[in-house]
């Protein structure tokens, strides 16, 4: 039941991104180096609820090709009591421009039970290509260059770029197209804005949130369709509070457990 829960969370969060046709401008970056956000991954099957693993997101300063940049890193792991039959250790990293969050480099290294997957992207904006190295347990090593569409993001850069979006520009029911590099392909997807609502977390805390659903790609985890719901804080941070996705067997939730080093006060939390 734990299969791909941590990776599912990352695929969930990757859906925060921009509309095709936008200039990819960033008016305000809603986070800063030193920010740490943590989640608990929870699996649900009928009446069964399992606390399956943890996820941590970190932001740090770095230097890339002689220029200042941001280093985004996320790690996920199964709880130790489940390691004996299905051990998960996942790592996702990206280096982005600190002003507009344009991605320069991305790497994924995931180990889930007996399944392994690796992705490495280098974005060449002058040549308009992404140099990719990919492989997994079901597919051999592949090295290729694919066309780089404008406003293309990977998992990590998309997660953080979403926090610059102004959802006040949309009305309930609007579709927001998105472009995403996943594994060795580029996908044209969309999210559907569902308005604002007050959310009561499992901890009992109450948040004013922005809610939307996501069009998923059919595959080994998801059935496809808009089977994912996401709630983010309705403030300058845009922190995901809850992610709820249907998978082939049951559903998986990512529940916010901790934040530190935020750039702005979390005024969306109802005291």
DSSP result, 177-202: EEEEEETTEEEEEEEEEEEEEEEE-T
Is the alpha carbon torsion for 204, 222, 96, 100 positive or negative?
negative
* 6, containing H or E segment: helix 5-13
Name which of 104, 109, 168, 167 is nearest 137 in CA terms. 109
- pLDDT by 10s per residue, the chain, length 271: 444 444 444 444 444 333 333 446 677 788 999 999 999 988 877 777 788 899 999 999 999 999 999 999 999 998 999 888 788 899 999 999 998 899 999 999 999 888 899 999 999 999 999 999 999 998 889 999 999 988 898 989 988 887 887 888 888 988 877 788 888 888 887 778 899 999 998 888 999 999 987 766 554 444 555 567 889 999 999 999 998 876 655 677 899 999 999 999 999 999 8
Q: What is the predicted pLDDT for the residue at 249?
A: 55
Q: What is the predicted pLDDT for the residue at 23?
A: 46
> Which domain does 224 fall in, by range?
5-257
- Residue 170 domain flag: yes
- Residue 9 domain flag: yes
Contact between 16 and 157 under an 8 Å Cβ cutoff? The reply is: no
In angstroms, the CA 164 to CA 134 distance is: 29
- Residue 229 domain flag: yes
In angstroms, the CA 103 to CA 49 distance is: 36
- Residue 79 domain flag: yes
- Residue 268 domain flag: no
Q: What is the pTM of this model?
A: 0.85
Number of domains making up the chain: 1
Buried b / exposed e across 160-172, counting CB within 10 Å, b at 16+?
bbbbbbebeebee
Q: What is the predicted pLDDT for the residue at 222?
A: 47
């Amino acid at each position: 039941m734990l299969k791909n829960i941590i990776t599912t969370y990352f695929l969930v969060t990757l859906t925060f991104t921009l509309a095709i046709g936008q200039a990819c401008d960033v008016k305000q970056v809603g986070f800063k180096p030193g920010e740490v956000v943590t989640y608990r991954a929870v699996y649900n099957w009928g009446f069964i609820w399992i606390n399956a693993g943890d996820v941590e997101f970190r932001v740090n300063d770095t230097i890339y090709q002689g220029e200042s940049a941001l280093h985004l890193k996320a790690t996920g792991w199964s709880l130790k009591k489940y390691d004996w039959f299905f051990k998960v250790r996942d790592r996702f990293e990206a280096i982005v421009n600190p002003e507009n969050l344009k991605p320069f480099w991305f790497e994924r290294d995931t180990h889930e039970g007996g399944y392994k997957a690796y992705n490495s992207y280098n974005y060449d904006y002058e040549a308009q290509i992404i140099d990719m190295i990919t492989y997994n347990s079901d597919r051999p090593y592949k090295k290729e260059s694919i066309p780089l569409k404008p406003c293309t993001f990977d998992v990590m850069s998309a997660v953080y770029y979403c926090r610059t979006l102004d959802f006040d520009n949309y009305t309930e029911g609007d579709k927001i197209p998105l472009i995403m590099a996943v594994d060795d392909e580029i996908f044209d997807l969309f999210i559907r804005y569902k308005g604002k609502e007050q959310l009561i977390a499992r901890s009992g805390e109450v948040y004013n949130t922005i809610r939307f659903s996501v069009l998923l790609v059919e595959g080994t985890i998801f059935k496809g369709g808009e089977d994912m719901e996401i709630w983010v804080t309705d403030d300058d941070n845009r922190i995901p509070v809850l992610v709820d996705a249907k998978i082939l067997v049951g559903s998986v939730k990512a529940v916010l457990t901790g934040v530190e080093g935020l750039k702005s006060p979390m005024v969306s939390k109802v005291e």
